[in-house]
Structures are given as structure tokens and as C-alpha cells.
């Protein structure tokens, strides 16, 4: 098992230095043991998620799922790949919601094209990227209405809402705050987002 993991990481490192077509990336990714993003012709291995990261992702996805259970929306956590067609980015957001008819790249139905809401749980190794280049790429998605950044180091949520072609930032720093997601008519209490999360561990 250790040999297989080591070999997988080695192959990902080699592939990351070679420019690949999107078609090549998808072929490799669908067979890979570990997830990787596709950026500018290269694959980038995704870091492992911490305990806090996993708890936060599950807390958010489960609460949104319950609120959307009887509506025509779908919630995906961690493993739904999203393609940004205008920039060629393939990525795996922490949580994705789609409330229009889901559109997929092909009949594998594993690459979503039209997310309504994207949530990223910030990690030390990817925070700058999530805030800047990735967000810039996401903004080219006509379907995207809200982009949520969630800290795993402290209580803190940033909500970017698309309004008349611009993105409005709202920040939440208290467990008593409640995040309203108008685009999907849902709410998320920060106390629920951070349930069972211990920042000292």
C-alpha cells in the first residue's frame, strides 16, 4: 500500500511537469488514487485535508442538503470536480451547490459546469490561491452567484455575493452570526458550521 501511494505521488510529480491536454488530464484523473487540479496545462496534487477541514465541509454540506432536500438543487462535498470553461481550470471545491439543471462536461457525470454556490475551506497551503487566482477564475462562471471562504484556524467566514456584475463582500466573525445564502434561499449559522471543531487540535 505504501509503495502504491509513493508511486502515485511520484507519477503526479512527473505529470505536473508536463503540459497536458484537458483530455489527458481527465483520463489520468479518473484512474488516479489521489485527486489533482488542472491548471494551465499542468496537474497539481491536492493536499490532504485536516480534521477541522473535514468537519467543516461535512457540517456545511449536511445542513445545506437538509434545507434543499425537497427542492430541485443538489449539494456535493469534496469529490465533485468543477470545470471553469473560460479559463480551463478543473478543481474540487469543498462544497458545491447547483440549483439549475446540472450541466456536466460529458457522460461520466463527474465534472460540473454550472455551480450556483461554491464553498472553499481555507488551508494554509492554498489560502492565497483560493482568495486570488482561483476566485478570479470562478468569477468567469456565469452561473456562480456566491463564493464562500471558511477559515479552519478561527471563527471566520467571508461571503462574496454577485450583485449587478460586481462582487460584494460580507464578513462574519461570531458564532452567533447567521449566513444568508439568498441565491439558494438557505441559511448557515456559524455555530453549525463550526460544530465539534476544536481550534486547539
Q: Is the pTM of this model over 0.85?
A: yes
Domain range annotation of the chain: 2-45, 51-193
Number of residues that make up the chain: 201
3-state helix, strand, coil in the chain (%, to 5): 30, 30, 40
pLDDT interval class at 9 (50, 70, 90): low
pLDDT on residue 200: 60
| Domain 51-193 grouped into CATH 3.30.2350.10 | no
Question: Grid cell 465533485 — which residue?
Answer: 80
Residues 6+ apart with CB under 8 A from 121: 49, 53, 56, 57, 94, 150, 152
Mind listing the pLDDT tens digit for each residue in 146-163? Answer: 999 999 999 999 999 999
Q: What is the pLDDT of residue 145?
A: 98
Amino acid at each position: 500500500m505504501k509503495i502504491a501511494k509513493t508511486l502515485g505521488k511520484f507519477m503526479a510529480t512527473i505529470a505536473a511537469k508536463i503540459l497536458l491536454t484537458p483530455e489527458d488530464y481527465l483520463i489520468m484523473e479518473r484512474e488516479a488514487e489521489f485527486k489533482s487540479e488542472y491548471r494551465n496545462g499542468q496537474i497539481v496534487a491536492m493536499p490532504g485535508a485536516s480534521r477541522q477541514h473535514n468537519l467543516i465541509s461535512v457540517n456545511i454540506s449536511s445542513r445545506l442538503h437538509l434545507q434543499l432536500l425537497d427542492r430541485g438543487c443538489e449539494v456535493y462535498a469534496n469529490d465533485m470536480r468543477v470545470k471553469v470553461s473560460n479559463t480551463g481550470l478543473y478543481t474540487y471545491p469543498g462544497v458545491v451547490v447547483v440549483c439549475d439543471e446540472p450541466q456536466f462536461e460529458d457522460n461520466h457525470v463527474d465534472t460540473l459546469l454550472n455551480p450556483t454556490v461554491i464553498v472553499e475551506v481555507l488551508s494554509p497551503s492554498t489560502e492565497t490561491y483560493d482568495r486570488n487566482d482561483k476566485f478570479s477564475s470562478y468569477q468567469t462562471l456565469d452561473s456562480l452567484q456566491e463564493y464562500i471562504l471558511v477559515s479552519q484556524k478561527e471563527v471566520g467566514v467571508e461571503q462574496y455575493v454577485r450583485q449587478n456584475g460586481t462582487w460584494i463582500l460580507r464578513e462574519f466573525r461570531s458564532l452567533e452570526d447567521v449566513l444568508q445564502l439568498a441565491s439558494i434561499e438557505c441559511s448557515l449559522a456559524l455555530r453549525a458550521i463550526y460544530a465539534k471543531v476544536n481550534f486547539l487540535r
